[in-house]
Chain A
């Protein structure tokens, strides 16, 4: 791997930015890689399709923005509609399968779905769907190690919610493992 562009998209309140921070932090602090996170600010960041952009690389990152994401994680239909045309040829589309209907599928992307919201609700907290997505992302993409991602989750979620969040991460991860094996 040299440089990979990743985009997390979803609704405000779904924890899209946190998903990006966890991924970037895992790569930069716990996996010894370079990782740059950028996000949209201002009124445009508060709309129905907000996003976090992460570039992960083995070498210093010179261009910090994501232009053609190799991986697009989409947690809402609006985000899918807005961001999916940007996906790189043959890239990966990771979707919240109950929220996103992946039609059309641009640029011959491969689609992987997880019922993240349902899993989060089963665990008792709808809010942690982003962590389920992060676990799913870890399994499908293998861009960042599981250990690093779990450490980043612990390091980023509110105190007292660590166990629940790690459970959410593991459930998302297992869903992905089943899907690809």
Chain B
């Protein structure tokens, strides 16, 4: 379905990633947002607060991130597409409600403009150290989807993608930006509304009495209903059956959690997305995501100038992780090299998938700036020569 043209600012703009992410959300049909100010993410909700009133959207600045992360879920059950936006400390406070969104299969978007951590860390400078938190931050077993834009244009594009994935799979989707991408300004091209593909919510057409809100039938994802439509919905964070009724035993737990996890794991092929280049015949493959993938590309070019055969794999969707592709590539190369603005996060997932078939080399960086491309180039060169 095409986008509602009132949310689409068609044309060429010179925007930073935060403003572009807002425009992407509006184009995707987001009409509810709850937020709490936190550097370096605040521009997203500032723009939403300015833009929503002319398009039927409701924004509320809540009393804290704990509130914001569940207020948006109230908005979703009222029938809206909704998001919240935050950074490090706020993301930590939101974790319980990531779990609530997962178990209630509430389609919603969490934007995290990552900064240096832990704790208050580096509020105005970039990091990529919340990647594991995005995946594992709430207690219990569940799956989410996480996207990593590397430019303001992708902040726009991936915000739309995030909403579409949330609606398709009824999961919380994390738009994992970083301060560098959020605050850098570049050309952002916004297409015509009719050229933007938007996934609308799959509302049930069944009658009350026939409809079971958590029955996925033969598929993976149940149809949805909203409050006020006469379905007497029962939505709970407790383990529940197809009706939504709490059931406190291991059978119900197995059935529900299995589906929550498998609807993503078994469909990873449909969800995973990455860009690759020069893998065929490569000695070394550089895997990266977000802002680091741009800087890494420079490192790759330096290494290629020195005659090293380097392939690249750039994660667009970080979670679920492209395990199948990694397992294909691993036996054909000398080493994976993975630069990240952290001391090792996604590299552990890479290492797990590589399963000893080749080497994995982390190029760590504590955050606060991006990598020096030469450092990445050196790691590639050393990996090719088998030195590190």
Interface on A for B, CB 8 Å cutoff?
Answer: 21, 24-25, 28-29, 34-42, 44-45, 61-65
Q: Which of A24, A41, A62 contacts B294 (CB 8 A)?
A: A62
Report how far A97 CA is from B231 CA in the complex, Å: 73
CB within 8 Å for A38 and B124 given contacts A21-B14, A63-B295 = no
Report how far A123 CA is from B182 CA in the complex, Å: 37
- Establish whether residues B14 and A38, one from each chain, have CB atoms under 8 Å apart when the complex forms: no
CB within 8 Å for A62 and B186 given contacts A28-B14, A41-B40, A41-B124 = no
- Establish whether residues A36 and B298, one from each chain, have CB atoms under 8 Å apart when the complex forms: no
B14 CB to closest chain A CB (Å) equals: 4
9 A-B residue pairs with CB within 8 Å = A25-B14, A28-B186, A29-B187, A34-B186, A35-B14, A39-B183, A40-B124, A63-B298, A64-B180
Digit string of B168-198 for contact with A (CB within 8 Å is 1, else 0)? Answer: 0000000000011001111100000000000
Q: Which of B12, B14, B39, B373 contacts A24 (CB 8 A)?
A: B14
Chain A residues whose C-beta falls within 8 Å of the C-beta of B301 in the assembled complex: 62
Given contacts A35-B187, A62-B373, 17 further A-B contacts (CB under 8 A): A21-B185, A25-B14, A29-B13, A29-B14, A37-B185, A37-B186, A38-B180, A41-B183, A42-B123, A44-B124, A61-B294, A62-B301, A63-B295, A63-B298, A64-B180, A64-B370, A65-B370
Report how far A36 CA is from B153 CA in the complex, Å: 12
Q: Which of B179, B185, B298 contacts A62 (CB 8 A)?
A: B298
Report how far A36 CA is from B152 CA in the complex, Å: 10
- Establish whether residues B294 and A64, one from each chain, have CB atoms under 8 Å apart when the complex forms: yes
Residue of A nearest to B299 (CB): A62
CB within 8 Å for A65 and B40 given contacts A21-B14, A28-B187 = no
Q: How many residues of B contact A (CB 8 A)?
A: 24
Q: Count chain B CB atoms within 10 A of each CB in A35, A40, A61, A64 and give the residue with the most.
A: A64
Report how far A63 CA is from B291 CA in the complex, Å: 9
- Establish whether residues A38 and B183, one from each chain, have CB atoms under 8 Å apart when the complex forms: yes
- Establish whether residues A42 and B185, one from each chain, have CB atoms under 8 Å apart when the complex forms: no
Residue of A nearest to B187 (CB): A28
Chain A residues whose C-beta falls within 8 Å of the C-beta of B40 in the assembled complex: 41
A155 CB to closest chain B CB (Å) equals: 8
Chain B residues whose C-beta falls within 8 Å of the C-beta of A35 in the assembled complex: 14, 186-187
Residue of B nearest to A40 (CB): B124
Check B297 for interface membership: any CB of A closer than 8 A. Answer: yes
- Establish whether residues A24 and B185, one from each chain, have CB atoms under 8 Å apart when the complex forms: yes
Digit string of B1-20 for contact with A (CB within 8 Å is 1, else 0)? Answer: 00000000000111010000
- Establish whether residues A36 and B124, one from each chain, have CB atoms under 8 Å apart when the complex forms: no
Report how far A61 CA is from B187 CA in the complex, Å: 12
CB within 8 Å for A63 and B14 given contacts A21-B185, A24-B185, A35-B187 = no
Chain B residues whose C-beta falls within 8 Å of the C-beta of A38 in the assembled complex: 180, 183-185
Chain B residues whose C-beta falls within 8 Å of the C-beta of A34 in the assembled complex: 186-187
Check B262 for interface membership: any CB of A closer than 8 A. Answer: no
- Establish whether residues B370 and A29, one from each chain, have CB atoms under 8 Å apart when the complex forms: no
Residue of A nearest to B189 (CB): A29
Residue of B nearest to A44 (CB): B124
Report how far A39 CA is from B183 CA in the complex, Å: 8
- Establish whether residues A65 and B124, one from each chain, have CB atoms under 8 Å apart when the complex forms: no
Check B369 for interface membership: any CB of A closer than 8 A. Answer: yes
Chain B residues whose C-beta falls within 8 Å of the C-beta of A36 in the assembled complex: 184-186
Q: Count chain B CB atoms within 10 A of each CB in A35, A37, A41 and give the residue with the most.
A: A41
Q: Which of A29, A42, A64 contacts B184 (CB 8 A)?
A: A64
Chain B residues whose C-beta falls within 8 Å of the C-beta of A39 in the assembled complex: 183
Report how far A61 CA is from B184 CA in the complex, Å: 12
Chain B residues whose C-beta falls within 8 Å of the C-beta of A21 in the assembled complex: 14, 185
Chain A residues whose C-beta falls within 8 Å of the C-beta of B39 in the assembled complex: 41-42
Q: Count chain B CB atoms within 10 A of each CB in A34, A36, A45, A63 and give the residue with the most.
A: A63
For chain B, residues 91 to 124, give those with C-beta under 8 angstroms from any C-beta of chain A: 123-124
Report how far A40 CA is from B301 CA in the complex, Å: 28
For chain B, residues 231 to 263, give those with C-beta under 8 angstroms from any C-beta of chain A: none
A53 CB to closest chain B CB (Å) equals: 10
Chain A residues whose C-beta falls within 8 Å of the C-beta of B187 in the assembled complex: 28-29, 34-35
Report how far A65 CA is from B39 CA in the complex, Å: 20
Residue of A nearest to B188 (CB): A28
Chain B residues whose C-beta falls within 8 Å of the C-beta of A62 in the assembled complex: 294-295, 297-298, 301, 373
B293 CB to closest chain A CB (Å) equals: 9
B44 CB to closest chain A CB (Å) equals: 14
